[in-house]
């Protein structure tokens, strides 16, 4: 393509973004915009699917029928989110199977948070409250993302995530108001999930190579640090309300700024987990690989059935 032609296309594309006009799959887009979206949306899809594992582990051990039904529904919602997101990736010309193979080979990233173990029932509360809470904080602005299919998928995802967040907070609140042992379980879950939840928002803005371009393209509407701060400001009073303590001796409210100041995040831990060396990375990938291999016969049977149906219809 001629230089001037390309420049004109790029200018028209940015003008659309600046006017908040959505970019749709058949519209012209810069290759880097397409690549950025494929990267982010596929990582997001993988996170939803891998994110089913830590909670799936507790479905058979939920303390009563109501809790079991709710947890089952939540984990199924996450599968649904993964499916919308893989479909959104396909609208960009990416091959779904290839993106999944990248997850299984360790090439593709997924959220660091899902590489931590779920040790007690209280972890189901902490995940809903903190992990879904952080996910909503990050995903509500994505409903206004410049890429149409991603933005539309996020609307439904966010509605479901907000139910997830509330059910998690309700578990935490029940445990925190229960026996001393139940309260201790809730506090222990908060202690283990607090810092990994803050890491979910990604590196500090000064160390985030993609943020500026993604903000210029209105893929991201707020920076990693802005969203993390909002999450802390919203979540600390919730912990106080149910009598739990945030595990951060440096946490304090700044009257002047109206924000909570918090302690240093352990970025070495974050990057180790992202690189594949977290407590559960190997287990998570092995579980996904097994699911694909063990499900092969189901896919083959479904295809054979479809072929038979088509042949019958044709005759
Ligand atoms: N974990 O330059 P940035 C959920 C990577 S869904 C692993 O700041 P960007 C629902 C990043 O990819 C949770 N890697 O990157 C649920 C990049 O690496 P690359 C997932 C991370 O894209 C709840 C590098 O670091 N949500 O929880 C992480 O501008 C409960 C540099 O970073 C989404 O995916 C991390 N935490 O900003 C399910 C939302 N953070 O690609 C089950 C959509 C950063 O160059 C149970 N994604 N990295 O190799 C986003 O909003 C963005 O992609 C960010 C990162 C904010 C995650």
What's the gap in Å between 201 CA and the centre of ligand 1?
7
Tell me if 203 sits within 8 A of 267, measured CB to CB: yes
What's the gap in Å between 110 CA and the centre of ligand 1?
7
Q: Phi then psi for 63, rounded to 5 degrees?
A: -70, -20
- 64 secondary structure, DSSP code: S
Reported as a pLDDT band with limits 50, 70 and 90, residue 71 is: very high
Tell me if 252 sits within 8 A of 260, measured CB to CB: yes
pLDDT at 1 over 70: no
Pairing state between β 259-261 and 252-254: antiparallel
- Kindly state if the Cβ of 36 falls inside 6 Å of ligand 1: no
Protein residue with least CA distance to atom 21, ligand 1: 202
252 strand-pairing partners: 261
Exposure of 95 in the CB half-sphere (CA atoms within 13 A): 4
CA distances from 156 to 81, 91, 165 (A): 9, 18, 14
- Kindly state if the Cβ of 202 falls inside 6 Å of ligand 1: yes
pLDDT at 230 over 70: yes
pLDDT (0 to 100) of residue 204:
98
CA distances from 218 to 21, 64, 82, 89, 142 (A): 11, 44, 22, 17, 9
Reported as a pLDDT band with limits 50, 70 and 90, residue 4 is: confident
- 219 secondary structure, DSSP code: S
- Furthest CA-CA distance within the chain: 77
Q: Which atom of ligand 1 is nearest to the CA of 219?
A: 51
- Whole-model pTM: value is 0.95
Helix (H) or strand (E) holding 237: helix 224-241
pLDDT (0 to 100) of residue 50:
98
DSSP for 1-39, please give it: --HHHHHHHHHHHHHHHHTTPPB-TTS---HHHHHHHHH
- Kindly state if the Cβ of 78 falls inside 6 Å of ligand 1: yes
80: closest CA among 149, 146, 18, 153? 153
10: left (phi over 0), alpha (psi -120 to 50) or beta: alpha
Helix (H, G, I), strand (E, B) or coil at 254: strand
Candidates 202, 211, 220, 271: which one to mutate for ligand 1, based on the most atoms within 8 Å of Cβ? 202
For residues 173 and 179, give the distance between their C-alpha atoms in angstroms, rounded to a whole number: 12
Number of CB atoms found within 10 A of residue 165's CB: 22
Protein residue with least CA distance to atom 40, ligand 1: 202
- Kindly state if the Cβ of 112 falls inside 6 Å of ligand 1: yes
Tell me if 153 sits within 8 A of 84, measured CB to CB: yes
Tell me if 135 sits within 8 A of 127, measured CB to CB: no
Q: Which atom of ligand 1 is nearest to the CA of 54?
A: 46
For residues 83 and 101, give the distance between their C-alpha atoms in angstroms, rounded to a whole number: 15
- Kindly state if the Cβ of 109 falls inside 6 Å of ligand 1: yes
User: pLDDT tens, 46-69?
Assistant: 999 999 999 999 999 999 999 999
Candidates 210, 211, 222, 227: which one to mutate for ligand 1, based on the most atoms within 8 Å of Cβ? 210
User: pLDDT tens, 265-276?
Assistant: 999 999 999 999
User: pLDDT tens, 126-177?
Assistant: 999 999 999 999 999 999 999 999 999 999 999 999 999 999 999 999 999 9
Q: Which atom of ligand 1 is nearest to the CA of 138?
A: 51
Q: Which atom of ligand 1 is nearest to the CA of 44?
A: 34
- 94 secondary structure, DSSP code: -
């Amino acid at each position: 393509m001629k230089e001037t032609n390309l420049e004109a296309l790029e200018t028209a594309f940015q003008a659309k973004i600046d006017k908040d006009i959505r970019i749709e799959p058949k519209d012209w887009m810069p290759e880097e915009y397409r690549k950025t979206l494929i990267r982010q949306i596929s990582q997001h899809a993988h996170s939803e699917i891998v994110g089913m594992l830590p909670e799936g582990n507790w479905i058979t051990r939920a303390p009563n029928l109501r809790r079991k039904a709710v947890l089952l529904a939540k984990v199924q919602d996450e599968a649904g989110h993964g499916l919308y997101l893989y479909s959104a990736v396909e609208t960009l010309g990416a091959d779904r199977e290839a993106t999944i193979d990248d997850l299984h080979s360790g090439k593709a990233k997924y959220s660091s948070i899902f590489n931590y173990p779920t040790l007690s029932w209280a972890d189901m509360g902490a995940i809903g409250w903190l992990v879904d809470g952080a996910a909503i904080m990050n995903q509500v602005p994505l409903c206004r993302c410049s890429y149409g299919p991603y933005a539309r998928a996020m609307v439904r995802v966010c509605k479901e995530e907000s139910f997830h967040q509330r059910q998690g907070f309700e578990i935490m609140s029940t445990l925190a108001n229960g026996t001393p042992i139940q309260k201790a379980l809730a506090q222990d879950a908060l202690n283990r999930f607090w810092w990994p939840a803050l890491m979910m928002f990604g590196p500090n803005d000064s160390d985030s190579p993609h943020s500026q371009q993604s903000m210029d393209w209105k893929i991201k509407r707020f920076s990693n640090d802005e969203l993390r701060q909002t999450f802390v400001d919203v979540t600390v009073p919730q912990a106080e309300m149910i009598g739990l303590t945030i595990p951060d001796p440096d946490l304090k409210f700044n009257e002047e700024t109206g924000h909570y100041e918090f302690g240093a995040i352990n970025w070495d831990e974050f990057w180790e987990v992202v690189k594949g060396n977290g407590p559960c990375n190997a287990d998570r990938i092995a579980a996904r690989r097994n699911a694909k291999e063990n499900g092969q016969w189901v896919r083959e049977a479904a295809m054979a059935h479809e072929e038979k149906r088509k042949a019958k219809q044709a005759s």
